[in-house]
Amino acid sequence: MNFLELAEQTIIKANQALTTNEVWEKAVEFGFDKSLNTKGKTPWATLGARLYVDIRDNQKSIFEAIGKRPTKFWIKGIPIPKPSAENQKNHSEQVIVEQTIVKAEKFHERDLHPLLVKFADTFHHFRGAKLKTIFHENSLRSKKGYNKWIHPDLVGAYFSFNDKIRQYERVVIDFQNDFAITSTKLFSFEMKIRLDIGNLREAYFQAVSNSSWANEGYLVTLKLDEEVIEESRRLANSFGIGLIKLDGENIESSQIIVPAAIKKELDIDSMDRLASENRDFAEFLQNIIDDKKIKKVNSRYDEVFDDIKFEKHLKEKGIIK
């Protein structure tokens, strides 16, 4: 049984329109999940994605979406049964619960920046890279939507003399600098709170546009589903943007889900455009120049929170309960 077959049989047997979560709960109750052909860790998320995509892309889809907040699914051509008084009560309670959950998680994308900064400080791939937030509102031009496709949310730089994983000998560092061997790597990051099959492509190509100048570009998110991972791998094969999954509960468990393609050459024209329009990016480049001259990192990047301050930030912003 595949996901769509499971949804069809579940809705028919339940004889009521169901949300994606209710479809999965009923499927488990009916024992249909045991016949499902999947190895994914979040089958309920994949189920929801399959239903939305089937309705959107398949003209012969047997499913239809009913209402909003929450959206429920039904089978075309079958009269929709009227909900009983008990079901209406349960529906009202469910809406109240869902609204409460949404309200509790109303943090912003920038509230996630300290998570990525701390992750980059210790994760072996970034080796202590220093990150800086780029404030779009500091750009010279402010047409609505203009900055969305030009400026990354964060940028980062790795310095060989600041390598936290492998401390190079001073003579090796000097050798790198004197012979122009790459001793600095630049990163670009586009941050999203959640990625699902519905918003992935827009977010991904926003990252493609924002990250063309860097050695490596990443799309970063706190929440995602299995469909996003597979599609991101396919997109990365063509466009090279990687995918990072942050873990709010345990930042050390965050990981690069899809590696980014590494570009040896920087796009100087794109860097010039960014620097001329945004003072944060221009300052970031100047920081790199200054730090390389003295072979020491100055404190003009985003702060890496210590564990106590980091925990406080997560709780105050509602990232963790």
CA pair distance 191, 250, nearest whole angstrom:
18
With 0-12 CB in 10 A as exposed, 13-18 as middle and 19+ as buried, what is 219? buried
pLDDT for res 71: 78
Helix (H) or strand (E) holding 114: helix 113-122
Residues 85-134: tens digit of each pLDDT: 555 555 555 544 444 433 445 789 999 999 999 999 989 899 889 999 99
What is the distance of C-alpha 94 from the center of its chain? 27
Q: pLDDT tens-digit profile of 122-165?
A: 898 998 899 999 998 877 755 555 566 688 999 999 987 776 55
Distances (CA, A) of 23 to 2, 19, 267: 14, 6, 48
Structurally, at CATH architecture level, domain 3-104 sits in Orthogonal Bundle (1.10)
The domain limits of the chain are 3-104, 109-316
Mean pLDDT of 177-196: 80
Cα torsion through 183, 189, 195, 201, rounded to 10: -100
Beta strand segments in 69-145, E: 72-75, 130-133
Selection from 55-59, 178-182, 313-317 with the highest mean pLDDT: 313-317
pLDDT of the residue at 219? 97
Confidence at 198, pLDDT banded by 50, 70, 90:
confident
- As a three-state string, the secondary structure of the chain is CCHHHHHHHHHHHHCCCECHHHHHHHHHHHCHHHHCCCCCCCHHHHHHHHHHHHHHHCCCCCEEEECCCCCEEEECCCCCCCCCHHHHHHHHHHHHHHHHHHHHCCCCHHHHHHHHHHHHHHCCCCCCCEEEECCHHHECCCCCCCHHHCCCCEEEEEEHHHCCCCCCCHHHHHHHHHCCCCCEEEEEEEEEEEECCCCHHHHHHHHHHHCCCCCEEEEEEEEECHHHHHHHHHHHHHHCCEEEECCCCCHHHCEEEECCCCCCCCCHHHHHHHHHHEHHHHHHHHHHHHHHHHCCCCCCCCCCCCHHHHHHHHHHCCCCC
- 231-258 average pLDDT score: 91
pLDDT given for residue 49 in this prediction: 78
Q: Which residue has the higher pLDDT, 270 or 43?
A: 270
Most confident of 41-55, 142-156, 223-237: 223-237
Residue 177 has pLDDT above 60, yes or no: no
